[in-house]
Amino acid sequence: MPSAEEVGHASVERNGETLRFGGALLRAGCATLWRQSLPLLPGVRRFDLQGVTGADSAGVALLAELAARTGHGVTFDGEPDGLRLLRAAYRLGPALAFA
């Protein structure tokens, strides 16, 4: 499980058509990441998760809703700890949409 320090350092930034996430995508930081991500979202086609150290169900929900709001399929680069298991538990496909 990520430390409290990692939770505090969750981040998102835009680079071209990519949203790059970093740190731990956990419930404690998701509201802040949500507010930061929304204005960056138009035109995004890729989520870079290589810098993500872990994710809980709130983090998966954040990514799934952001992906849905793009209005088209986004691709994901990287799979942080916990994401695969949570995707399976919620029956989400690779693009975090319901299968």
Q: What is the pLDDT of residues 38-56, one digit of tens each?
A: 999 999 999 999 999 999 9
Helices (H), the chain: 4-8, 27-37, 57-69, 83-89
Return the residue matching tokens 């209005």: 71
Domains and CATH numbers, the chain: 4-89 (3.30.750.24)
d(C-alpha 63, C-alpha 57), whole Å: 10
Structure tokens given for 24: 């731990």
Helix (H) or strand (E) holding 40: none
Start-to-end CA span in the chain (Å): 27
CA nearest to 23, candidates 81, 94, 85, 88: 81
Mean pLDDT, residues 20-48 taken together:
96
Percent of the chain's residues with pLDDT above 90: 71
